[in-house]
Amino acid sequence: MVVHFFTDAIPQVLVSLLTWVIFWTSRDYEEDIMSAEHEHPPREKPAGDSEYFEKLTQAVFQTGFSWKVVRNKWSNFQRAFDDFDIDTVAAYDERDVDRLLADEGIVRNGRKIRGTIENAQVMQQLIAEHGSFHGYLRTLDGLPWKKRRKTLSDAFRYFGPTGVYFLLWSVGEEVPPWEERDQ
């Protein structure tokens, strides 16, 4: 029985490992988001704070995944996260986390789900202080790119430099050319 388990399991483990190695060594996952060879996300100014929150959440969930995977599941994300109503998501509790972890229609990453809830709470605070998320972004006007990027990255969970670039680019904010984003 034990021998049978290992002879059946080892090939599957090797296939999984080789698939993973080939996938991650054959692509530049940061380039997947904004490179010339890949589809660019739509670029438009959001109508309100929920739309900014939705773009922020897209950036969070895209990290480590292809844009295409997240895009194909996005209508499920909208349903699962109550159309990104900031106050609703900010009030999520462990039952909501469990519900989201069980939802096969979204990327079920517990850290990113919890981070999204925390990000909604941060958005609430910024909106209370500045009137809107757009108003908060205006406080970053005039800052050098690296400072704006760091300020936003530090404010939110699971929101790194590429996510900041994606958010700002997709909501129509000024960003450097993609090739210069890390300078």
Report the pLDDT value the prediction gives residue 40, as an integer from 0 to 100: 67
pLDDT tens-digit readout, 82-102: 999 999 999 999 999 999 999
pLDDT tens-digit readout, 102-157: 999 999 999 999 999 999 999 999 999 999 999 999 999 999 999 999 999 999 99
Closest CA to 123 of 54, 173, 171: 54
Closest CA to 49 of 20, 17, 84: 84
Closest CA to 116 of 178, 30, 54: 54
Tokens of 14: 């090797």
Whole-number average pLDDT of the chain: 84
3-state secondary structure of 183: coil
DSSP state of 35: -
* Structural domains of the chain, ranges and CATH numbers in brackets: 28-180 (1.10.340.30)
Residue with tokens 């399991």: 9
Report the pLDDT value the prediction gives residue 179, as an integer from 0 to 100: 84
pLDDT tens-digit readout, 26-61: 444 444 444 444 556 778 999 999 999 999 999 999
Say which residue, 8 or 65, is predicted with more confidence.
65
Report the pLDDT value the prediction gives residue 112, as an integer from 0 to 100: 97
pTM value? 0.78
